[in-house]
Amino acid sequence: MRLKSFNAKTMTEAMKMIRESLGEDAIIVATREENEGKSVCVTAAIDNRRGYVHDPAFEIGRDQAVASDDTWLQYDEEEEDHNAVVDMITDSMIQHGVPEDITDEILSHVTIMGLEEPRVALLAALEDVFSFSSLFEITHKNHFLFIGSAGAGKTLSVAKYAAQAVMDGHSVAVMTADTQRAGGVEQLESFTRILDVPLIRTNSAQELADTIKEYDDIDYIFVDMPGLNPFDPRDINSLDDYIVASACEPVLVLPAAIDAYESEDLSEIYQPLGVRALLPTRLDMARRYGGLLSAAYAGKLSFIEAGISQNVAGGLDRLTPKKLAHYLMPNIRERR
């Protein structure tokens, strides 16, 4: 007897998952509502041996109705192991403040795959639910606009990408529209001087567009934008002008440990501007990453590189499902 649990928002979704995973001969052992009735957990069984499964609680043939029964079946070791995996991942999602809808989807994928190692199961689910890429793979463009709220880490991220590109042998130009903030240009200038790359100041969307055209022979152009208030329509309209005029690929810079629902709001504001890339920062200084999952999920954004230290050289690391799973479950030891 093989048993598996399936988490879904509705019973119909659960039935579909069971049929796809276990086939038409599966039976329903138990059902229960979760998350105050917002989702269901259905345990199904399939007999791996020849012959018929005795005393099924429910049958789920396509043309048969689901009927209840008081029959109880003993959970086997495989089911207990799987439940432990689901419980551990659920606890991790709660610890990181991941919203329920994202947690439910992750657990649905975990349940379908039935993997026995918690971090491996989480890794596989993250790979299915989220998108992972590199900034240089997400677009054919070679000029990038780093946007986000004040203090998110845009200036340092620009310096890190510029440093990496220079070390890889590419020609680089750095531009900034952050000319009003005290010390903003000076901070970036200290980095570009060491890298021996030009730093160009721009004061309007059209000036940025014209300047980019002057540097069309440069391999990569990185643009540092000033911090803005995403809830101020004037700031968003101004940002949209910069994105449209410059034809840059916008990159949303978001610090870790931000509130999940706040980051969801931010993501939904920026996504209509054509934002596809999410650059997390300060992963080394945070222990709660639910806000990053929430932003990527709500805005359908792709995780790219992440800021893992304050160092300019080597301060970026491509975020993969495996690395994100490690951040979410750092203390799990996989069984050998």
In tens, the pLDDT along 84-120 reads 899 999 999 999 999 999 999 999 999 888 888 999 9
- The mean of the pLDDT values for the chain is 87
pLDDT number for residue 113: 85
Task: Identify the band that residue 78 occupies on the pLDDT scale cut at 50, 70 and 90.
Answer: low
Q: What is the pLDDT of residue 19?
A: 81
pLDDT digits (tens, 9 = 90+) for 272-311: 999 999 999 999 999 999 999 999 999 999 999 999 999 9
d(CA 245, CA 240): 8
Q: Is the pLDDT of residue 129 over 70?
A: yes
Q: What pLDDT is attached to residue 77?
A: 55
pLDDT of the residue at 76? 52
Residue 194 pLDDT class (50, 70, 90 cuts): very high
Three-state DSSP state, 95: helix
Q: Please give the average per-residue pLDDT across 55-59, as a whole number.
A: 44
Q: Is the pLDDT of residue 183 over 80?
A: no
Q: What is the pTM of this model?
A: 0.77
Indicate the class that CATH gives domain 132-328: alpha beta
Query: Quick one: average pLDDT of 136-163?
Result: 95
pLDDT at 28 over 90: no
Give the model's pLDDT for residue 52: 41
When comparing pLDDT for 207 and 27, which is higher? 207
Top-confidence residue, 28 or 51: 28
Amino acid at position 258, single letter:
I
- The domain ranges of the chain are 2-129, 132-328
Cβ-proximal residues to 156 (8 Å cutoff; 6+ apart), any chain: 281, 307, 310, 312, 315
pLDDT, residue 22, reads: 83
Instruction: Supply the pLDDT for residue 71.
Output: 41
Q: Residue 56: is its pLDDT beyond 70?
A: no
Q: What is the C-alpha separation between 288 and 328, in angstroms, rounded?
A: 8
Least confident piece of the model among 61-75, 205-219, 272-286: 61-75
Burial, 122: exposed, middle or buried (Cβ in 10 Å; 0-12, 13-18, 19+)? buried
Kindly state the percentage of the chain with pLDDT values over 70. Answer: 85
Residue 284's pLDDT is what? 94
Mean pLDDT of 10-27: 80
Q: Determine the pLDDT at residue 25.
A: 77
Residue 62 has a pLDDT of 45
Write out pLDDT tens, residues 217-243.
999 999 999 999 999 999 999 999 999
Cα three-residue angle 98-101-106, rounded to 5 degrees: 75
Give 115 or 82, the one with higher predicted confidence.
Answer: 115
Residue 32 pLDDT > 90: no
Return the minimum-mean-pLDDT range out of 187-191, 202-206, 211-215, 325-329: 187-191
